[in-house]
Amino acid sequence: MEVLHFDEIFVEKDGELEFGYTNVIIRGPDGDLYYANTEDRFLTSSEIDIDSLDKTSINTDGCWPLYSPRFLQAPSTISPDSYVKGPDLSFYEYDPKETPVSDLILHEVEAYELLKRHPHPNIVEYRGCVVRDDRITGICLAKYKMTLSERMADSTPFDKDMFLDGIERGIRHLHSLGIVHNDINPANIMLDELDCPIIIDFDAWQKNGQELGITKGTSGWMIEGSEYALFENDFFAFSKIQEYIYDPSSGKPLSRSTSSNSSQTTTSSTTSSGSTRDVSDAFDITPESPVEGERQNTTTPPLVGAQGLRSRGGASPEDMETDIAEQANAFMYTLQLSA
């Protein structure tokens, strides 16, 4: 057996965030999948004793949606320059009947199908659905060199102004299509061999003005307490990216999922996709006519929702304490932007 990834789950108690448990996703020798919860905390997957965990089997039929011919199918042989994004099985433990993981996959595929028709050099290249036994088991995407987080750790200089221009162009392209990314952060921005920025990870996307569901973004890089997918969400995150680019110490540590077999950042946090829709009918707009939202994410929000704060494996307890304190600072910054 092997650990696919693990997440730290934080819950609210007496108005404060505290560590709840670690959720671990495990794959067996025959490809069968399990999840387990433990009160222990880990920095790397190698620290996890799989045999000691109380494992619960995952019904993969609820995780892998049926393939439809209206979706692009990936080649049967995946090229080395491709990356296959699998389902985030950490969502399975909440309520697989209420929010099936398969719906989350289809929701993300909808975004890629739209972007396939309207590509952009600063948006990840979609190469189709990976299909096995008539089910979508993954999403095939172009593989890129490194994340922005990794690039900032490299001392080699690069053109930061041009880099930021590329990110902004990518965001504005999404908005011209009437959609909001909702999770712009250094782990969701890749770089190619020429240091060109590429926005990835569309599991949190929504049409502008729609209510957010399970996936709301990444703490510290979002408007805390956001309830709606609005263009301002992406521009707020972009302002944080600008700060981070010119002063790396201003960016909070990212707490992301740890995967033993992934070379590219996987999905973040938590969102509900709503009902499955035909891609051709899902959008009633043209690229030249973005939907203008009337709502604002500026009301005083609770610190976290009922499901708590999801923290990706690898974050130290000290980092998470910093995360909690910085949520208040992020909200105050939001108020300044909206003033």
Q: What is the pLDDT of residues 251-309, one digit of tens each?
A: 554 443 223 333 343 333 333 333 333 333 333 333 433 334 456 565 333 333 323 33
DSSP annotation string for 174-218: HHHTTEE----SGGGEEE-TT--EEE---TT-EETTPBP-S----
H-only helix segments in 56-195:
101-117, 148-152, 160-176
Say how far apart CA 323 and CA 307 lie, in whole Å.
17
Half-sphere exposure at residue 223, Cβ-oriented, CA atoms within 13 angstroms: 26
Q: What gap in Å lies between CA 63 and CA 105, rounded to an integer? A: 8
> Percent helix, strand, coil in the chain (nearest 5)?
30, 20, 50
> How many residues make up the chain in this entry?
339
Q: For residue 288, give the 3-state DSSP assignment.
A: coil
Q: What are the angstrom distances between the C-alpha of 258 and each of 179, 183, 309? A: 28, 18, 17
Q: Which of 160, 271, 274, 146 is closest to 212 using CA atoms? A: 271
pLDDT value of position 50: 93
Q: Round to whole Å and give the CA distance between 189 and 86.
A: 18
Distance CA 127, CA 308 (A): 34
In contact, 245 and 298? CB cutoff 8 Å: no
Q: How many helices (H) and strands (E) does the chain have?
A: 5, 13
Q: With beta carbons less than 8 A apart as the criterion, state whether 221 and 184 touch.
A: yes
What are the Cα distances from residue 85, in Å, to 71, 141, 155? 16, 7, 29
Neighbouring-strand partners of residue 9: 21, 310
Could you tell me how far CA 293 lies from the centroid of its own chain? 22
The answer to whether domain 2-338 has CATH 3.30.43 is no
Torsions phi, psi of 173, nearest 5?
-65, -45
Handedness of CA 184, 186, 192, 194 (dihedral sign): positive
pLDDT tens digits in sequence order for the chain, 339 residues long: 898 888 887 777 777 778 888 989 888 888 788 889 999 999 888 999 999 999 988 877 777 899 999 999 999 999 999 999 987 776 665 554 556 778 889 999 999 999 999 999 999 999 999 998 899 989 999 999 999 999 999 889 999 999 999 999 999 999 999 999 999 999 999 999 999 999 999 999 999 999 987 777 888 899 988 889 999 999 999 999 999 998 866 555 444 322 333 334 333 333 333 333 333 333 333 343 333 445 656 533 333 332 333 444 334 334 433 443 343 343 333 333 333
DSSP 45: G
Place of tokens 């979706």: 71
Tell me, what's the pLDDT at 297?
A: 64
Contact 139, 85 (CB under 8 A): yes
